[in-house]
Amino acid sequence: MGWLWAIIVGFVLGLIAKAVIPGKQHSPLWLTTICGILGAIAGNAIARGFGVDETRGIDWSRHIFQLVAAIVIVFFVDMLYTAMKRKRTQRA
């Protein structure tokens, strides 16, 4: 069940990150989901580093760390994906 939640959370975080980033992103949905999963993992690690490991109720601060990490990861991965795609089409 842990993997299913990771995929669902990654999917949602990736979509929110894509919506927040201005302009059009060209990365496919599967790559956005992976970036969201990585953002959730990185956000959890950063939150743990700040001492926000677990709180009572909803962990809003941890979720904000996850979202910010997902936005940064989606942004840079999309830039890399677009550059690689452009390079591939220039060769052909």
Query: Looking at residue 74, what is its pLDDT?
Result: 96
Higher pLDDT, 29 or 89: 29
Q: CA 58, CA 35: separation in Å to the nearest integer?
A: 23
Contact (CB, 8 A) for 44 and 66: yes
Q: What does the DSSP assignment read for 27-66? A: --HHHHHHHHHHHHHHHHHHHHHTT-S--SS--HHHHHHH
Residues 6+ apart with CB under 8 A from 55: 61, 62
Taking residues 37-50, what's their average pLDDT? 92
Q: How many residues does the chain have?
A: 92
Q: What is the pLDDT of residues 11-36, one digit of tens each?
A: 999 999 999 999 888 899 999 999 99
Q: What is the pLDDT of residues 57-74, one digit of tens each?
A: 788 888 899 999 999 999
Query: Looking at residue 1, what is its pLDDT?
Result: 56
Retrieve residue 79's tokens. 């830039």
Query: Per-domain residue ranges for the chain?
Result: 2-91
